[in-house]
Amino acid sequence: MIDLKAARANRAEWRAALARKGAADAFDALLAADERWRALVPRVDDLRSRTKLKGKPTPEQLEQLQTLKEQLRAAEEELAAAEAARDEALASVPNPPHPSAPDGDSEDDAVELHRVGEPPALAEVREATEIGRFELERAARVSGSRFGYMVGDTALLALAVYRFAIDHVARAGFTPVLPPVLVREEAMVGTGFFPTEKSNIYELEADGLFLTGTSEVALAAMHMGEILDEAELPLRYCGFSTCFRREAGAAGKDTRGMFRVHQFNKVEMFVFIDPRESWAEHERMVALEEELLDKLGLPYRVVNVAAGDLGAPAAKKIDIEAWFPSQQRYREVTSCSNTTDFQARRLGIRMRGAGGLEPPHTLNGTVVTDRAVLALLENFQGEVPDVLRPYGAPQRVES
């Protein structure tokens, strides 16, 4: 959540920033709810003080005390309702974007920073599912649309990519983690995926649990409610998990193949860090993502995502898009976000330093997903980069 005290002190600045995310009205609603709550606090405090009598009360004082207690009960109920309304409004306000995030509200408004590598000149362009073995029709019979099997060499290639990615970031100081993929609602709310992304999340209603769309949720919530010592930071984790997304609102988008599916695997970086070091860490994480794609030999471009296209938690996000020959365009394969103190505040995570307690910053960055496998198949048409051979990848993928 945002720092409400700071937002009160600089209303115009915060409103202007949040307007870039389309959240000016939500911010106005928060301030109105906050003012209603704050106006009630002195009245409740006054009534509480008046109910405290010294010495033995007279009959008249007892009668007056009874009236005061009834007024206090009503005022406390009104205050509790106002507080709940303020907290609900606060949960709906996203993290304001960083000034360096460009204006705009769609992927077309992202600003390209640079490109690396040249798209391959292919005599014949084949889509990934025409090269590797993906059982889509059988998966549809088993699970429905937007699911698929990876089989044989294709599965070995995918497993090699994940293990290669884990080693890549582990050498950079990230601790590997196999996190749970089912979490409670407080983890989804705390990371900022609820309420805005709730339509994209699978729910197990009978158990009060939700399937995560990224291991970011479980990694962030691992320290929920804790006080971290400044000397412990940064904490760098690398999670590998299967992820689930309903893809609500994606009707008609990427319906062919395995590009946009309900279930996929992902290697994810997550960092808890001193706020004064988070922007340098963001650049470091993006560099690690680029290094991995360089080692794989994939052509790609790096873009700065527009403010209105950022998720609720992110202040800034850098996407890396690999070239997909079958689509003749660059598509997102990794991303890296600085969520500043937004998630830490919602999750009740604080760090203890020389200046006392304050929320740390958190960052997340995708290292690889199944899309990296698709990009490899398409750009090399079945040939496999040498760097993946030690991890069990075949020399060539055959369908």
List binding-site positions. Answer: 214, 245-247, 261-264, 268, 332-335, 364
Q: What does the block give as tokens for 202? A: 């699978």
Long-range contact set of residues 115-118: C-beta below 8 Å, sequence gap at least 24: 115/299, 115/300, 115/301, 115/302, 116/290, 116/293, 116/294, 116/299, 116/300, 116/301, 116/302, 117/297, 117/298, 117/299, 117/300, 117/323, 118/299
Bond prior to 57 in cis (omega within 30° of 0): no
- Closest among 259, 267, 222 to 243, alpha carbons compared: 267
Residues constituting the chain: 399
- Beta bridge pairs of residue 329: 324
127 φ, ψ (degrees, to nearest 5): -75, 155
Which residues participate in the annotated binding site for L-serine?
214, 245, 268, 364
Q: For residues 194 and 187, is the Cβ–Cβ distance under 8 A?
A: no
Per DSSP, the residues of 273-305 read E-GGGHHHHHHHHHHHHHHHHHHHT--EEEEE-
Which residues participate in the annotated binding site for ATP?
245-247, 261-264, 332-335
Rounded CA gap, 183 and 211, in Å? Answer: 7
**135 CB-near residues (< 8 Å, 6+ apart):** 148, 149, 151
Per DSSP, the residues of 316-365 read EEEEEEEEETTTTEEEEEEEEEE-TTHHHHHHT-EEEETTEEEPPEEEEE
